[in-house]
Amino acid sequence: MPKALHRLLLCLCLWLPFAAQASDAQDFASASANDRARLLQEWAAQPDPARLGLLGSLQQGRLGPDQPRTLRLNNRLRGLLDNALASQRLLSDDAQVRLQAAQHLQRRAQPTQLGLLERHHAAETDQAVHAALGLALANLQLVAAEPSVRLAAVRLLGESGDPLARTRLQALLEPAVESDEGVRTAARTSLDQVERKLLIGELLGQAFSGLSLGSVLLLAALGLAITFGLLGVINMAHGEMLMLGAYSTYGVQILVQRYAPGALEFYPLLALPVAFAVSAGVGMLLERTVIRHLYGRPLETLLATWGISLILIQAVRLIFGAQNVEVANPGWLSGGVQVLPNLVLPWSRIVIIGFALCVALLTWLLLNRTRLGLNVRAVTQNRNMAACCGVPTGRVDMLAFGLGCGIAGLGGVALSQIGNVGPDLGQSYIIDSFLVVVLGGVGQLAGSLWAAFGLGVANKLLEPQIGAVLGKILILALIILFIQKRPQGLFALKGRVID
Amino acid sequence: MNQPLLVTATQKAGPRLSLVIGAIVLLTLIALPLLSLLPDGHSLQVSAYILTLVGKILCYAIVALALDLVWGYAGLLSLGHGLFFALGGYAMGMYLMREAAGDGLPAFMSFLSWQELPWYWAGTQHFAWALCLVVLAPGSLALVFGYFAFRSRIKGVYFSIMTQALTFAGMLLFFRNETGFGGNNGFTNFRSVLGFDITAPGTRAVLFLLTVALLAGSLYLGWRLAQSKFGRVLTALRDAENRLMFCGYDPRGFKLFIWVLSAVLCGLAGALYVPQVGIINPGEMSPTNSIEAAVWVALGGRGTLIGPLLGAGLVNGFKSWFTVAFPEVWLFFLGALFIVVTLYLPKGLVGLLKKRDEP
Amino acid sequence: MRPAPIHPHCMLEPSIDAGQGREAIGLGHVAAPGLDARHGTVLTLEDITVSFDGFKAIDALDLYIGVGELRCIIGPNGAGKTTLMDVITGKTRPTRGKAWFGDTLDLTRMSEVQIAQAGIGRKFQKPTVFEALTVFDNLELAHKTDKSVWACLGARLSDEQRGRIDEVLGTIGLQAARGRAAGSLSHGQKQFLEIGMLLMQDPQLLLLDEPVAGMTDAETEFTAELFKRLAGKHSLMVVEHDMGFVGSIADHVTVLHQGRVLAEGSLQQVQADERVIEVYLGR
């Protein structure tokens, strides 16, 4: 018996620190939905470090760390729960955690938390957290009884760049909502301030998506710059090489899912060599069978490669169906970095920009620092002379063409992570990427780089102002006008005119 | 040698037989609409479907001829001729829409609850002005685009890409609902033209005859141009533009003239296409359509006048049969056609006939 | 409107100083009827410099070609001979310098077409003729006449023009080939056809880039005779590597080296020049 008593005591002692929590958990479990809401609001107003664990569990639908998932919460309760959790976190020692909590409260704080926020705002020593709490407080103070308090809050909100501040301030412009004239005027001024900040965020966001569009264009145009610029072959099936790359990604994803589900996180990396190989292989096959016979007849090449693209599209349509296929982002490519309140940079796009630049660098190195590159450049400049010097021109043509197509395949992998994958995918990029080559100057990698990013950013910046369609037309007009001034493109080498 | 009968025949009889064949084709084309007027059930009656199909192909043949004038003679491969075709079609289509709508706004506009007609459609209720638009819209667009393109010496594939981008931009513009071009659906549900019921056999027959007349006229015009010094300058321009400049010719004017002429011909063909087929939508401007026209010309033989007509007829005839019988295979066939023609038939079918002609 | 009467004295002798004289006549005056070459030079190049990305293909070059002169330009590869022709015909714009055709036409401000119409004909290094057209058509297109679009639409050959074409066909020895496509001619025949086209153009100044490349000895001799006959009526500037040919035609030779004039004078003079020997034979 004493032994059993001992054990009981021991257990009690161990459990003691959790007693408060345990009772809260029981309260919560036994309460009705309305009471639960009241309870959560109370906790939000009166945070207690001991409750942190409980709230964390509740968020996962458990009553305690070891309890089964039995709890079902509606959206309202979820919101309140998040709020309460944020309140608890304000007590944390880590400034970073407090900052996140304060940012959460800026959006979600309830009037009952006013006292809490005031206390913490006064006591906070970290500058960033202090400012964030000030804004959260200001949101609540907008409905304070004192006009002077409201005025101060409005002015404070003017300094934030949060889209929510805009809606809140907009509401205040109505005389029915805000009776005080002075506060309304201040709200007007603050609103202008907020909108200016938001505009910067929006513009940056558009410029960023322009950059990521540009990086896809760059990957497409790099291949074109090689096949068109260096070999003088215009490849209308180049867009289909992008498409093949994207479908290779899809295929790799399916295979990995089936045979190595553990490695699913990294399937895009696996897809890179596969897509390169598929596109380059198809490209080399085409070069050997069709394009080889058409060197020096660019217009004919254009038509023949268009025929090839029709066949490739139809083949993919028959194999994979006409619908778009599902290509998922792995975990490390989803989500993004919050730069401004209204500007999130998605990881997938950041990675793609970096990737495109890497590929551009590698291509440059390959063309300028290797034997193959030397051969390609030699054949470009004087095919007969190169052949006399023992350069195997046929092989060089094939490899260069394969390289161009392979790079497009890599572009397809990138594209599959940010857009839809369907049989018509290549068609929507081909015209833009040709314009990149025209604008950048034939055979100029640096020109392609600037033209791709320039065109991408211009596209995306113009889109919201005047609409996607007019933007495209305007850009086309601009390119035509630009070519009036610089017929050889941005980066053309000057030289003796050769006949 | 196991040659087709026609080839051996042409080989022997030469130009006189070609003339005879041409006359037979022309007479058949004139007879078709007349036969369609026969009462129902008559054994010789030509159905409305056949008449429409042939009429459509004839319109495409005019496009092929127009494209051949710029590509075959002047060496400018346009991948945007669908745009000019569609512009002519839209101008005519708007007139038909206005006529169908009476005094009110065209159906698609009232559907979008528009209050008034956009300025650029003003006056389209008058047939005469619609006809002017059919010429002016493609003509002026070609003039402006051509002026800038030729001024900066854009040629070869650059020119092709620019024209493709142009028709692509046009398609995007016409796809939008708010631009006043009927959006996705384009213009359709026409009722009458100049007061005549558009589905009546008589109207169809007249439209068909007009198409035949336009085709014959374009052919004559093309022949006259090809015979003139102008035609020789164009050929010279295609082969050695620099030499021509150093001879003292300004290539820009020559290119611009033939380019605008070709665009206007396309516009006229589009205007005849719309009342016969009964619909015009932005799909006509898709780059695919325009580049398909290039294969008609290439198959028939560019730089010849009959070749493009032959090519347009064959490809479109095959298309209407294939897309019904084996819809999946059509694109494979078309794609293979592009490759085979460029690889093995650089001078087209007419070139093949001519080669056999020469000893 | 009648132009203000000009004092007869001024008309006879505009000015002693050449530069002022041009000023008086009007800078950049284009397409005057008939070439104004009262100072005896048909082509005046002064301080012409062409640089491609820093590399000077032509460096402060001065060159004068007199009316009716036959001038040969020689020089090793890369001396700037073809670039010089590009500058004269308006294909390349000089970075610096003046280029005058006659006394009144500023070549640096004229387009290629205007220059050709003003009376400068050019023969390329590689013979370029209109391959799809017949020999006769080639000559017809080159004929000096109204070359606007409208004129070409309704153009008909007069008997006089036909006669002129036949005459040139005879001169270049291609009567038998008049109906053949130019593309089917041999290399040497193409050279002659191109020279024939230049004759049809009836230019004041002919620029000929390696006209006898690919010709047989007999043809070369014939060409030399032809050029000597042309000189006097026309001015010729011939770029050539074949010293024998140069010796047989030229009274005046200019040696170019690295974009500059290295020596000028008769063939014997320049061949005796130390620097020329050094450039051609190396040290």
Q: Do A496 and C52 touch (CB under 8 A)?
A: yes
pLDDT at B4 over 80: no
The model's pLDDT over B251-264, given as tens digits with 9 standing for 90+, comes to 999 999 999 999 99
Mean pLDDT lowest among A180-194, A278-292, C1-15, C19-33: C19-33
Mean pLDDT lowest among A227-236, A383-392, B213-222, B306-315: A227-236
Question: Any alpha helices (H) in C101-154, and if so which ranges?
Answer: 112-118, 135-142, 149-153
Copy the structure tokens of residue A331: 């975990």
How confident is residue A7, by pLDDT bands cut at 50, 70 and 90?
A: low
User: Which H, E and C letters describe B2-42, residue by residue?
Assistant: CCCHHHHHHHHHCHHHHHHHHHHHHHHHHHHHHHHCCCCCC
Question: Which of chain B's residues have a Cβ under 8 Å away from the Cβ of C129?
Answer: 240, 243
pLDDT at B141 over 90: yes
Q: Do B335 and A314 touch (CB under 8 A)?
A: yes
Q: Do C116 and B247 touch (CB under 8 A)?
A: yes
Would you say residue A443 lies in a domain? no
Q: How far apart are CA B279 and CA B277, in angstroms?
A: 6
Q: Which of A171, A199, A227 is the last residue of a domain?
A: A199
Mean pLDDT, range A175-196, rounded to an integer: 78
Q: Do C154 and B228 touch (CB under 8 A)?
A: yes
Mean pLDDT lowest among A365-369, C17-21, C265-269, C278-282: C17-21
Mean pLDDT, range A136-155, rounded to an integer: 76
Q: Do A300 and B157 touch (CB under 8 A)?
A: no
Residue among C116, C124, C137 whose CB faces B248 most closely: C116
Does C203 or A334 have the greater pLDDT score? C203
Nearest C-alpha neighbor of A46 from the set A136, A110, A104: A110
pLDDT at C71 over 60: yes
User: Residue A321's closest chain B neighbor by CA?
Assistant: B328
Percentage of chain C beyond pLDDT 90 is 6
How confident is residue A190, by pLDDT bands cut at 50, 70 and 90?
A: confident
Neighbours of A, requiring at least 3 CB pairs below 8 Å, are: B, C
Would you say residue A486 lies in a domain? no
Question: At CB < 8 Å, which residues of chain A contact B?
Answer: 228, 234, 290, 293-294, 297-304, 306-311, 313-315, 318, 431, 434-435, 438, 467-470, 472-473, 476, 480-481, 483-484, 487, 499
Using alpha carbons only, how large is chain B's radius of gyration in Å?
21
Angle separating helix axes A181-224 and A238-259, nearest 10 degrees: 100
Q: Which residue has the tokens 């007879």?
A: B31
Q: Which residue has the tokens 């910067």?
A: A200
Q: Residue A494: its pLDDT value, please?
A: 41
Cβ atoms < 10 Å from Cβ of C51:
15
Q: Do C125 and A499 touch (CB under 8 A)?
A: yes
User: Residue C150's closest chain B neighbor by CA?
Assistant: B230
Mean pLDDT lowest among A113-117, A307-311, B285-289, B333-337: A113-117
Q: Does A497 touch chain C (CB under 8 A)?
A: yes
Q: Do B240 and C122 touch (CB under 8 A)?
A: no
Residue from A384, A494, A498 whose CB has the most chain C CBs within 10 Å, to mutate? A494
Q: Residue A393: its pLDDT value, please?
A: 82
pLDDT at C5 over 70: no
Residue among A495, A496, A499 whose CB faces C124 most closely: A499
Residue from B76, B166, B343, B347 whose CB has the most chain A CBs within 10 Å, to mutate? B343
Cα end-to-end distance, chain B, whole Å: 14
pLDDT at B61 over 90: yes
Q: Do B235 and C133 touch (CB under 8 A)?
A: yes
pLDDT at C153 over 50: yes
Residue from B227, B228, B229 whose CB has the most chain C CBs within 10 Å, to mutate? B229
Q: Which of A369, A394, A426 is the last residue of a domain?
A: A426
A167 and A284 housed in the same domain: no
A377 and A313 housed in the same domain: yes
Copy the structure tokens of residue A209: 């998506």
Q: Residue B299: its pLDDT value, please?
A: 92
Q: Does C124 touch chain A (CB under 8 A)?
A: yes
Q: Does A494 touch chain C (CB under 8 A)?
A: yes
Copy the structure tokens of residue A54: 């409980």
- Please list, in sequence order, all residues whose beta carbon lies within 8 angstroms of the beta carbon of residue C156, skipping any fewer than 6 positions away: none
Q: How far apart are CA C217 and CA C201, in angstroms?
A: 27
Does B97 or A120 have the greater pLDDT score? B97
Q: Residue C283: its pLDDT value, please?
A: 46
Q: Residue C178: its pLDDT value, please?
A: 87
Residue among C53, C86, C126 whose CB faces A497 most closely: C86
Q: How far apart are CA A489 and CA A440, in angstroms?
A: 5
Question: Which of chain B's residues have a Cβ under 8 Å away from the Cβ of A467?
Answer: 176
Q: Residue A488: its pLDDT value, please?
A: 61
Residue A411 belongs to domain spanning: 215-426
Does B206 or B117 have the greater pLDDT score? B206
Residue among B225, B228, B246 whose CB faces C116 most closely: B246
Would you say residue A24 lies in a domain? no
Domain ranges of chain C: 24-281
Q: Which residue has the tokens 């006097």?
A: C232
Q: How far apart are CA C39 and CA C19, in angstroms?
A: 11
Say if residue B73 is exposed, middle or buried (CB neighbours under 10 Å; 0-12, 13-18, 19+).
Answer: buried
pLDDT at A497 over 60: no
Q: Residue C1: its pLDDT value, please?
A: 40
Window B:119-148, CB contacts with A under 8 Å? 145, 148
A162 and A220 housed in the same domain: no
Q: Do C149 and B254 touch (CB under 8 A)?
A: yes
User: Which H, E and C letters describe B157-189, residue by residue?
Assistant: HHHHHHHHHHHHHHHHHHHCCCCCCCHHHCEEC
Mean pLDDT lowest among A340-354, B83-97, B314-328: A340-354
A291 and A371 housed in the same domain: yes
Neighbours of C, requiring at least 3 CB pairs below 8 Å, are: A, B
Task: Measure A371 CA to nearest chain C CA, in Å.
Answer: 27
Would you say residue A184 lies in a domain? yes
Q: Residue B356: its pLDDT value, please?
A: 64
Would you say residue A437 lies in a domain? no
Looking from the CA of B158 toward its CB, the CA atoms found within 13 Å total 21
A403 and A295 housed in the same domain: yes
The model's pLDDT over B159-196, given as tens digits with 9 standing for 90+, comes to 888 888 889 888 888 888 778 888 888 898 888 888 88
Copy the structure tokens of residue A109: 């704080």
pLDDT at A350 over 50: yes
Q: Residue A161: its pLDDT value, please?
A: 67
Looking from the CA of C47 toward its CB, the CA atoms found within 13 Å total 4
Residue among C52, C57, C128 whose CB faces A499 most closely: C128
Q: Residue B142: its pLDDT value, please?
A: 95
Does B114 or A359 have the greater pLDDT score? A359
Residue among B162, B179, B331 whose CB faces A314 most closely: B331
A311 and A187 housed in the same domain: no
How confident is residue B333, by pLDDT bands cut at 50, 70 and 90?
A: very high
Domain total in chain A:
2
Copy the structure tokens of residue A206: 């558009």
Domain ranges of chain B: 48-286
Does B88 or A488 have the greater pLDDT score? B88
Mean pLDDT lowest among A214-228, A483-497, B288-302, C1-15: C1-15
Question: Any alpha helices (H) in chain B, and if so which ranges?
Answer: 5-13, 15-36, 48-68, 81-101, 107-111, 127-151, 156-175, 201-227, 229-239, 241-246, 251-277, 287-300, 306-325, 329-344, 348-357
Copy the structure tokens of residue A386: 């190169």
Q: Which of A148, A169, A199 is the last residue of a domain?
A: A199
Nearest C-alpha neighbor of B189 from the set B289, B111, B88, B288: B111
Q: Do C86 and A496 touch (CB under 8 A)?
A: yes
Q: Do C91 and A493 touch (CB under 8 A)?
A: no
A229 and A139 housed in the same domain: no
pLDDT at C257 over 50: yes
A321 and A373 housed in the same domain: yes
Does A487 or C168 have the greater pLDDT score? C168
Mean pLDDT lowest among A295-309, A335-349, B257-271, C211-225: A335-349
Q: Residue B87: its pLDDT value, please?
A: 95
Window B:278-307, CB contacts with A under 8 Å? 287, 291, 294-295, 298
The model's pLDDT over B199-222, given as tens digits with 9 standing for 90+, comes to 888 999 999 999 999 999 999 999
Q: Do B161 and A435 touch (CB under 8 A)?
A: yes
Mean pLDDT lowest among A3-12, A68-77, B341-350: A3-12
How confident is residue A147, by pLDDT bands cut at 50, 70 and 90?
A: confident
Report helix, strand or coil for C130: coil
Q: Does C122 touch chain B (CB under 8 A)?
A: yes
Task: Measure B243 CA to nearest chain C CA, in Å.
Answer: 7
Q: Do B229 and C148 touch (CB under 8 A)?
A: no
Residue from B338, B341, B344, B347 whose CB has the most chain A CBs within 10 Å, to mutate? B338
pLDDT at C10 over 60: no
Residue among C53, C91, C126 whose CB faces A497 most closely: C91
Q: Which CATH code fits C24-281? A: 3.40.50.300
Q: How far apart are CA A410 and CA A423, in angstroms?
A: 17
pLDDT at C46 over 70: yes
Would you say residue A294 lies in a domain? yes
Q: How far apart are CA C25 and CA C45, in angstroms?
A: 18
Q: Do B169 and A301 touch (CB under 8 A)?
A: no
Residue among B153, B162, B337 whose CB faces A307 most closely: B337
pLDDT at B81 over 90: yes
